[in-house]
A and B are shown apart, each in its own frame.
Chain A
Amino acid sequence: MRSLISTLPGRIGTVLAVTLLVAWSLGPIYWSLVTSLTPPLNLLGAPSLWPQQITFEHYAKLFGATSMSQGNAVQSVWPQFSAALANSLITSILATIVTVAIAAFGAYAFVRLEFPGRDLLFVAVVATLAIPAYTVMIPLYRLMISLKLIDTYTGITLIYVSAFLPLALWLMRSVYQAMPISLEEAAWLDGAGRIYTLVHIVLPLSAPGLIASAILTFLNAWGQFMVPLVFSPTLATKPLTVLIPEFVTRNYIDFGLMNAAGILAIIPPVLLVLFLNRYLVSGLMAGATK
């Protein structure tokens, strides 16, 4: 039985801590959004936490045919920006589909089927989670050159799949392990085959795990920087993460433009967190606690 007096400081402390956590997590994103909506001249003055005057000119530079910069009409960056946006979407979605498909079927074999070397293979694949991805970059680069897969969607997708498959496999295996085998046995007694059971009974029941693996893979692929920096030299496959920093190397740094591009690039992750956070967090937790 605690008195009001002893819980009141605790409550105030909790409220303060929550405020601090929210400010720390959202502050930089909010500031980027404000910057992307502030006219260029105002960016050079004292900052204000609320935009005094809202402008969409930074976004217009990204989307328009031509735009004004320091009083001169300049070519817009839309051709590059749209190509990079498409590349980001294509490589991330392809990598997600392929990774989740291989993991969904492969993990089933690791849980429900017996074959020689099963546990060894699983441990070997999951152990690569502890290997920094960059360790294999150089031989991979030479391999991709000899296969003529540099700057192709196939090459990038394959690299992403090899990098993100272990986590998805680990996740899907823990999902299947938690699933009672009795459901499948009932289907087998009714004469259903293994593959039929997997596709029509196991996979639908594993939907939350599949969604979690898909989100984790997509977010990882969407944020990749060093892999495309090496393997996507041109706009044929160059994603947003590689294009946006290139705005810096012009004669001056256009922070309004960069923040606007950054805000657009975080829309897909933000939508995933807003609508599918439950699955994302359960995926992160499952990956950590097993």
Chain B
Amino acid sequence: MPSSYPRRNRTPGELALAAALVIPIVIVMGGLVFWPLATSVVDSFFRIDPMKPGTPFVGLANYGALMADSNVQTAWLNTLAYVAIAVVLETIGGMGAALLLNRVKHGRQWLLAITVLPWCLPPVVNAIVWMWIFNPSYGLLNHALLWLGVIDSRQVWFNDRATALFLVSLVHVWRMMPLTAVILLAALQSIPRDLYEAARLDGAGPIKSFRLVTLPLISSGLAIALSQSTVFAFNLFDEAWILSGSSLDTRSVIIQVYLTAFQNLRFSSGMALSILAMLASLLVSLIYVLRVYRETRYD
């Protein structure tokens, strides 16, 4: 973090004022994020279970039990599917929307407002709206596909695991794509116009100038968008929970954490799993950031 202003002598009372302004942040973040995070790490090596006496040190036993648990394995696979589908669709859709918004001249503010809207709504309401669309008997999806002749009988969408995973991801993508679009739009708007002019004079077509001018210059925005999509998809809870509850077919890692900790009251096991989820999410984000930077730097 570079300091953005020149160093000067501290005025008297500056330290006291700084302390007064920063202490609320230290208390809130320390007490409600850093302290719980630290206890989460420590407690994941103990057995903390209100149903069992004592809290003995168990080493890596919680982690070992998680590796062996087939429900946990399924939850990991589901979450990986969510991350893969969501990141791909959000990036493609968000890029398309950003390029379009960057191109539209009349009414851009309105189109932007419409694009951003799904991100602003409560995820629970989004999931309920889509649940009605996916309803096997009366839902719009079945009616529309029947009418178009794509299917010849009504489908119970959530009976098939792959379809269920895709539909849950789709609801998530509907909510999160606007964020990718806005991040990429901000990056696109920072590209100087004359670069495209120069590329055109050099005989580059639209695809070539996208690859040679646009992509390298939005790489940092793209890395941010990718890691945002990843972190949010790793955290997927609301959509899967509303659309099919604790069903193993669509159960994400975070739902597994919730069930373990708050329904089965195996606190330390839940903490171990949530730490693994955090590490996985951070790791995948980091890989993107590094790769995107490396592959798009031409200097």
Cross-chain contact A136 with B32 (CB below 8 angstroms): yes
Q: How does the 8 Å CB contact mask read for A91-125 relative to B, with 1 for contact and 0 for none?
A: 00000000000100110111111110011011111
Q: How far is the CA of A110 from the CA of B43 in the complex (A)?
A: 33
Residues on A with C-beta less than 8 A from B115 are 21, 25
Which of A56-64, A158-166, A200-208 lies at the interface? A158-166
Stretch at the interface among B57-65, B69-77, B97-105, B152-160: B97-105
Is the C-beta of A236 less than 8 angstroms from some C-beta in chain B?
no
The reply to whether the CB of A272 lies closer than 8 angstroms to some CB of chain B is: yes
| A142-B18 contact in complex given A18-B100, A25-B115, A285-B183, C-beta closer than 8 Å | no
Query: In this assembly, does A230 line the interface, its C-beta being within 8 Å of a C-beta of chain B?
Result: yes
CB of A213 within 8 Å of the partner chain: no
Indicate if A143 sits at the interface (CB-CB under 8 A).
Answer: yes
The interface residues of chain B lying within 8 Å CB-to-CB of A74 are none
Min CB gap A116→B, angstroms: 9
B22→A106 contact, CB < 8 A? yes
Mark A214-245 against chain B: 1 for CB-CB distance below 8 A, else 0.
00000100111110011000000000111011
Given contacts A106-B25, A122-B1, A288-B224, contact A244 B128 (CB under 8 A): yes
On chain B, the residues within 8 Å of A277 by CB distance are: 109, 112-113, 116
Please, how many residues of chain A have a CB less than 8 angstroms from a CB on the other chain?
A: 93
Complex contacts, B36 vs chain A, CB 8 Å: 136, 139-140, 143
Given A113-B17, A130-B231, are A135 and B278 neighbors across the interface (CB < 8 Å)?
A: yes
Question: B114 near A22 (CB under 8 angstroms)?
Answer: yes
- 8 Å CB contacts to A: which residues of B171-195? 174, 178-179, 182-183, 185-187, 190
Q: Is the CB of B37 within 8 A of A136?
A: yes
Q: Are B37 and A135 in contact (CB under 8 A)?
A: yes
Closest Cβ of chain B to A233, distance in Å, is 10
Q: Does A47 contact B138, Cβ atoms closer than 8 Å?
A: yes
Contact partner of B125 (CB less than 8 A), chosen from A140, A143, A244, is: A244
The answer to whether A165 touches B15 (Cβ under 8 A) is no
Kindly identify which residue among B29, B111, B285 contacts A165, using a CB–CB cutoff of 8 Å: B29
Q: Is A12 an interface residue (CB 8 A)?
A: no
Partner of A284, one of B29, B31, B183: B183
Q: Do A259 and B129 form a contact, CB below 8 Å, given A25-B117, A244-B124, A285-B183?
A: yes
Q: Are B254 and A132 neighbours in the complex by a CB distance under 8 Å? A: yes
User: Which residues does chain B contribute within 8 Å of A112, judged by CB atoms?
Assistant: 5
| Complex: A119 Cα to B179 Cα, angstroms | 28
Task: Confirm or deny: A87 has a beta carbon within 8 angstroms of a beta carbon on chain B.
Answer: no
Interface size classification for chain B: 35 or more
Whether B32 and A285, one on each chain, are in contact in the complex, defined by CB atoms closer than 8 angstroms, is no
Give the distance in Å from the alpha carbon of A229 to the alpha carbon of B154 in the complex. 34
Chain A CB count within 10 A is highest, among B140, B143, B267, B275, for: B140
Q: Given contacts A139-B271, A165-B29, is CB(A28)–CB(B133) below 8 Å?
A: yes
In the assembled complex, A265 has its CB within 8 A of some CB on chain B: yes
CB distance from A56 to the nearest CB of B (A): 18
Residues of B within 8 A of A136 (CB): 32-33, 36-37, 40
Q: Tell me whether B24 and A102 are in contact (CB under 8 A).
A: yes
B121 CB–A CB distance under 8 Å? yes
Complexed CA–CA distance, A113 and B25 (Å): 15
Min CB gap B52→A, angstroms: 15
By a CB distance below 8 angstroms, the chain A residues around B17 are: 109, 113, 194-195
Considering only CB atoms, which chain A residue lies closest to B93 in the complex? A24
Which A residues form the contact surface with B (CB < 8 A)? Answer: 14, 17-18, 21-22, 24-26, 28-29, 31-32, 35, 43-44, 46-47, 102, 105-106, 108-115, 118-119, 121-125, 128, 130-143, 158-159, 161-162, 165-166, 169, 177, 181, 194-195, 219, 222-226, 229-230, 240-242, 244-245, 255, 258-259, 262, 265-266, 269-270, 272-274, 277-278, 280-281, 284-285, 288-289
Residues on B lying within 8 angstroms of A by beta carbon are 1, 3-5, 7, 10-11, 13-15, 17-19, 21-22, 24-26, 28-29, 31-37, 39-40, 43, 96-97, 100, 103-104, 109, 111-118, 120-126, 128-130, 132-133, 135, 137-138, 140, 143, 174, 178-179, 182-183, 185-187, 190, 221, 224-225, 227-228, 231, 234-235, 237-238, 241-242, 254, 257-258, 261-262, 267, 270-271, 274-275, 277-278, 281-282, 285
Can you give 5 A-B contacts (C-beta < 8 A)? Answer: A26-B117, A115-B18, A130-B231, A139-B271, A140-B36
